[in-house]
Amino acid sequence: MKGGFSPFPLGLIPVIICTQEESRVLRLMAFQPISGITSDPGSGVFPSLIYVQGNEQRSIVMNRTPFSVGRKVDKDLVIPDPRVSRDHALIVAENGDFFVVDQGSKHGTYVNGERVQRQRLQRNDRVEFGVRDVAYVIFSPQHATSNTAREFLSQISGIQISTDTTDLEKLTLFLEAARKLNTVGVLDEILVTLVDTTLKLTRAERGYVFLKDEEGNLRLAAGRNSKGEALLDDKTISHSILDEAMKSNSEFLFTDTSQSLDLAVRQSIVAYDLRTVICLPLRKPQVQTFRDASNPAEAEVMGALYLDSRFASRDISSVSHDILRVIATDTASLIENARLVQAEEASRRYQQELAIAASIQQRLMAVTIPEVPFARMRGRNLSCKEIGGDFFDVVHTEDGLAVVLADVSGKGVSAAVLASTLQGMVYAHLIARMKLTDIMASVNRFFTQKHLGEKYATVIITRIRKDGELEYVNCGHVPPLLVSQGSVMRPQHGNLPVGLLADATYEGDRVQMKPGDRFILVTDGVTEAENAAGDFYDNERLEEIAAKSPTLEDIFASVSTFCAGAPLGDDCTVVELEYTG
């Protein structure tokens, strides 16, 4: 997951917009916003809005207050409708709440259908500005996934199996259920619920989960107090204890001011008025059989669970060590599972991207055969893999009907990328009515200058004129077949493939076609189609069927009969150009 974990699930962020007076209060409480999270829509300090207009909707992060709405173009939200006043309304923040304030608009401001002057906004409120129904704003909507996941989790954590169920059993139950959750973005929800449950179990005042990011730095992933309120990173968290816990070999670190001898630790505890700190390093779960219980430090540390209480509040020094041990190991495996789910999601998206690329490739390779009065063209490709290196294309210009057939070395995505580039170049050059030999020289120059690592292509390009004169340039391809009145000739003229040698030169040849003559181009996948005995289909069989049958289907049928079920080792492409006169 790029950029580490979102530190808070949507909507659980304490709002830190305040007057100077409030700011002083907040500073006393020592809340510190984490830098870098405000730009993340949905998880930042500001709430998001969903603006719905007709069938379209977009998400807007309120990145400032007052947030202005109106018809004027300098508004934060511009609604271009005559029923919306120029300065229609403002959304302002006060004491951590958000209010919508009408600015004396002509058609009014509505919250959930009621006209208001000033109204505190709540999650999912529908706000309308003058124009009703056509355009409106949903305030701080709940994320659909988060919603379901959170509801589900709260159901589990609130469940009462029987009166005998201990908190520990409940936690285990919760962890079990959470593991089965397969929802994206569920990690944040799991962490929050986990901290809440842990606070309940340990009776600690505050709880935080820190996770290591890609650089190995600890980042706050969730923070809650015993009242169930979200907490941001805080200077009163003893980072010296956190660091020590990460380095230590023990299962957890338990620090009491009366016991600690370490001066630095003592100082930070005393400075922040903390009574007890419990810090549990979260280690990557290992396969049971390889696990050496006596040396848990060998497992990779992925983060820490930090719990504390201040002098002024309850004492958590009596928390059972068993409970802590269970929490530490189960939290680790829970996070690991959630991360696996996220990795799976990332890989699923990657697969989707590939599928999109494949479909673009297919559309690029799709050929629309132009209708020309003097010639008929047919082509067929049989790919052995999903994305192959064979392609053909056809372009009609005033010079005649041009056909290109290419076979890029290698297979898969790399071959497809090269095939697309080659196809684009040839197409553009043909449209520009360049000489066929110049086209090939240009492509060769491009490919050899780009150092594509031994990638090259065999290409045959041909153009037939109205009068039946056919020019071809063969660059490393199987010789074409010229079928004339039942006999087959193989025009032998050829050149080096393109992309192999920078100083290669290209020459063409011409043949005169008579009405009914066919010029057939094939890739070596056809002639080198192998049967189970290891024999090649080869040129003789190809020539025989080409002389006998006028359809491409018969050629493919003949290859398929020959192979008798042996899988194709390479793409097979056949293109036929018939001169009709």
* Residues of the shown chain interacting with another protein in the complex, contacts defined by CB under 8 A: 407, 409-411, 453-456, 458, 476-479, 494-497, 500-501, 524
Q: What is the DSSP code (8-state) at residue 213?
A: -
Tokens at 258, concatenated: 């009366």
Question: Min. distance of Cβ 460 from another protein in angstroms?
Answer: 11
C-alpha dihedral sign at 414, 419, 422, 428: negative
In sequence order, the β-bridge partners of residue 93 are 98
Of 327 and 478, the one with the shorter C-beta distance to another protein is 478
Instruction: Count Cα neighbours of 122 within 13 Å in the Cβ-side half-sphere.
Output: 1
Contact yes or no for 316/226 (Cβ under 8 A): no
Of 50 and 496, the one with the shorter C-beta distance to another protein is 496
Of 215 and 454, the one with the shorter C-beta distance to another protein is 454
The 3-state secondary structure of 5-65 reads CCCCCCCCCCCCCCCHHHHHHHHHCCECCCCCCCCCCCCCCCCEEEEEECCEEEEEECCCC
Question: Min. distance of Cβ 384 from another protein in angstroms?
Answer: 13
The 3-state secondary structure of 36-50 reads CCCCCCCCCCCCEEE
Question: Min. distance of Cβ 479 from another protein in angstroms?
Answer: 7
DSSP 462-494: EEE-TTSEEEEEEESPPPPEEEETTEEE-----
Question: Min. distance of Cβ 360 from another protein in angstroms?
Answer: 24
Question: Min. distance of Cβ 409 from another protein in angstroms?
Answer: 4
Nearest alpha carbon to residue 426 among 365, 382, 362: 365
Helix (H) or strand (E) run with residue 246 in it: helix 239-247
Of 358 and 496, the one with the shorter C-beta distance to another protein is 496
Question: Min. distance of Cβ 557 from another protein in angstroms?
Answer: 25
Of 198 and 474, the one with the shorter C-beta distance to another protein is 474
Nearest alpha carbon to residue 381 among 516, 574, 238, 563: 574
Question: Min. distance of Cβ 393 from another protein in angstroms?
Answer: 20
Question: Min. distance of Cβ 549 from another protein in angstroms?
Answer: 24
Residues 292 and 285: their CA atoms lie apart, in Å, by 12
Of 100 and 422, the one with the shorter C-beta distance to another protein is 422
Of 223 and 479, the one with the shorter C-beta distance to another protein is 479
Instruction: Count Cα neighbours of 202 within 13 Å in the Cβ-side half-sphere.
Output: 34
Of 409 and 423, the one with the shorter C-beta distance to another protein is 409
Of 185 and 476, the one with the shorter C-beta distance to another protein is 476
Residues 137 and 88: their CA atoms lie apart, in Å, by 14
Question: Min. distance of Cβ 424 from another protein in angstroms?
Answer: 21
Residue 2's contacts (CB-CB under 8 Å, 6 or more residues apart) are none
**Location of structure tokens 């100077």:** 20
